[in-house]
Structure 1
């Protein structure tokens, strides 16, 4: 069953045709209505750890951007000092 809250097939039970393991994890290739195939991460199904039901809001994204900018700035200044 697709459990990822933001996936368009959330709540649907799909037959698993086969599994594919990559370095990024386990994936299921499933059949949709006998016509199409969809590839789902294990985490997006009832066979994985449930996904968060909350999206990150604008305030959280703004704070995250500030942290990334600070880290990038520090990395750039460390590179320039070592030259």
Structure 2
């Protein structure tokens, strides 16, 4: 079953034709309505780890920006808004 919330086939059960493992993870090649094929990351299906139910809050994003700025050697992230 496709579980990725933004995938157009979310909620659909698709037959897996075969699996393909790459350095980026496990992928499933599935059949849609007996006519076309779609490739899905394992994480986008019920065979992968469940997706997080909560998105980052504004405070979480601000803290993440501060960490990124510190790693990049930037001092004042407020001056970078809108660049």
TM surpasses 0.5: yes
Distance (whole Å) between structure 1 residues aligned to residue 56 and residue 39 of structure 2: 24
Count of residues in correspondence between the two structures? 74
- Deviation digits for residues 27-81 of structure 1, max 9, x if unmatched? 001111222221111111111111112222343222211110111108xxxxxxx
Match of 2:52 in 1: 52
CA separation of 1:6/1:53 partners in 2, compared to 1, >3 Å: closer, same or farther?
farther
Q: Take 1:35 and 1:19, find their aligned partners in 2: how far apart are those partners?
A: 18
More helix by share: 1
Q: List structure 1 runs of 4+ shifted beyond 3 angstroms.
A: none
Unaligned stretches of 5+ residues in structure 2 = 75-83
Partner of 1:61, secondary structure, is helix
TM-score, normalised via structure 1 length = 0.75
- Measure, in 2, the Cα distance between the counterparts of 1:38 and 1:71: 38
Which residue number in structure 2 is paired with residue 31 of structure 1?
Answer: 31
Give unmatched runs, 5+ long, in structure 1.
75-83
Partner of 1:4: 4
Please give the secondary structure, in 2, of the residue aligned with 1:38.
Answer: strand
Question: Mean alpha-carbon deviation: is it higher for 50-59 or for 33-42?
Answer: 50-59
- After TM superposition, the score normalised by the length of structure 2 is 0.75
Computed over aligned residues only, the root mean square deviation of the Cα atoms, in angstroms, reads 1.7
